[in-house]
Amino acid sequence: MKIVVTGANGQLGSDLVRELSGDFEVVPLTHEDIEIGDPESQRTVLSGIKPDVLINTAAFHNVPKCEEERDTAYRVNGYALKELGMLCNELGTYLIHISTDYVFDGSKGKPYVETDTPNPLNTYGISKLVGEIYIKNYSEDYAIVRVSGLYGLNPCRAKGGRNFVETMIYLAEQGKDIKVVDDQFITPTFTLDVARQMKIIVKNHIQGIIHCTNEGETNWYEFARAIFDISGVNARVFPRKTDPDREIKRPSYSVLENAVLKEKGINIMKHWKEALGEYLSLR
């Protein structure tokens, strides 16, 4: 089986390439190899490869920049998925697209399942929902895998090379006071765990919308505290509230429940604290 991974040098993409390569023929594609927002680039590159599976992790996911560059956000995260879905139909390719917890507004106040109705609050979330809608309407063989609060061993280009964990440790080592919001609830998720779970999704050819996050929930402040507790790094970290007048709207509660994975008996995602401990032992 031949699997193409787009965004192959990103946090999730790099782990997918490593994890899947032992079982499948994996073709890693970076932004230099394919422009996912350009239908001509999609067709030229993918028609030459003819993959059995395409895992699309490529996205414009810098949330503040999405507000500034909305055309790019909608093109890459949204409109491109119509063309990609139709191309995968032509090639007989199983399309797996990575989406986000930010398609929800947080008003539910308890974990979102796959059948809950999205209502995104910002351009990033809206553009990702547009992509989901195009896939559902134009793709014949697909999975939309929603993730949350990703961090991984590979540098995160969209965040200046540091994920949240590395940013917290860096700030602590600089001796800075750190203020982190405690009113946004998520499930921090280790990309290596997503990659391990994705292997099972591929082997079972699961279709439709799938939530894939580590288990449990926390807020960003408590996540930061856990980072320092587990790593043994001394830090001056304080909670703060989201400033609605100065900060981009984000869901106050976007915890996802892996309902489909559990229903099918294939959920292997561990608790977020255990996942964090593994990450810190590997970094």
**Residues annotated as part of the active site:** 124
Tokens encoding 168: 């917290």
Are 94 and 134 a contacting pair, CB within 8 Å? no
Q: What is the DSSP string of 210-271?
A: EE---BS-EEHHHHHHHHHHHHT---EEEEE---TTTS----SB--B--HHHHHTT-----B
Are 151 and 277 a contacting pair, CB within 8 Å? no
Helix axes 39-49, 80-91, angle to 10 degrees: 20
Q: Which residue reads 């697209």 in tokens? A: 97
In a 3-state reduction of DSSP, which class is residue 150?
Answer: strand
Are 104 and 251 a contacting pair, CB within 8 Å? yes
